[in-house]
Amino acid sequence: MKQIAPSVLSANFANLREELEMINRSDADMLHVDVMDGVFVPNISFGFPLMKPMKQYSTKPLDVHLMIVHPEKYVERFCDAGAWSVGFHLEATDDPMPAIELIRKKGVRTCLTINPDIDVHRLDPYLAEVDMVLLMSVFAGFGGQSFIPETIDKIRYVRQEIARRQLPTLIEVDGGINTKNAADVFAAGADVLVAGSAVFGAKDPIAAIRLMKGL
Ligand code: DX5
Ligand code: ZN
């Protein structure tokens, strides 16, 4: 099933509750929560204080994307704050397994992410260890960037590998997704598309989500 995860990073935080309630009424499947530490990426977004209103007002599962160094230090707190899934970057760790185990022990879904400059084959050993892999289609750090076309081949590769090994692992793609390219990205094998500016910047976000899902 084609799933859309609007990225709250592009929401109007002055009206966060209204924005979340609008997403609740939409066909969105989850709410993507981008956490940036200013070290792993050259930008700072938000952290634990905003998890509370998001958990309170969003009826959609919270898909947390950690763009932080030492994810193993913080994954449990995001689980406790109500995350439905917690993802972090493979290249932010020497070994992703300890953080994966911590998330798993909390009963929360695990997600492993790579930036566009990381060899997609580095995910191979972990495809059976996580619930979802997140392929960045822009460099993590900012909303509103353009989709990097080379991501399509990486999605195809991971889709093939998951099929060959008969794994239930989901493929999520994040960055530069819009109503024009969503169909192609799904066709390449993605299960979940993150969309920030294409949702919250749209005149009619609810219609944009439906369009991206092909509804
Ligand atoms: C980028 C974030 C993305 C971002 C997507 O670092 O991980 O989730 O919010 O925004 P758009 O859809 O505008 O590229
Ligand atoms: Zn993200």
Select from 9, 35, 85, 114 the residue to mutate for testing ligand 1; criterion: most ligand atoms less than 8 Å from CB.
9
What DSSP element (H or E) covers 76? helix 75-80
Provide the domain limits for residue 87: 3-213
Residue 144 Cβ contacting ligand 1 at under 6 Å: yes
The enclosing domain of 35 has a CATH number of 3.20.20.70
Domain count, the chain: 1
* pLDDT tens readout for residues 7-62: 999 999 999 999 999 999 999 999 999 999 999 999 999 999 999 999 999 999 99
* pLDDT tens readout for residues 139-197: 999 999 999 999 999 999 999 999 999 999 999 999 999 999 999 999 999 999 999 99
Cα–Cα distance, 201 to 78 (Å, whole number): 27
Q: What is the pTM of this model?
A: 0.98
Q: Is residue 52 within 8 Å of residue 77, measured between CB atoms?
A: no
Confidence at residue 190, expressed as pLDDT on a 0 to 100 scale = 99
Query: Which residues are marked as active site?
Result: 34, 174
Q: Among the atoms of ligand 1, which is closest to the Cα of residue 9? A: 9
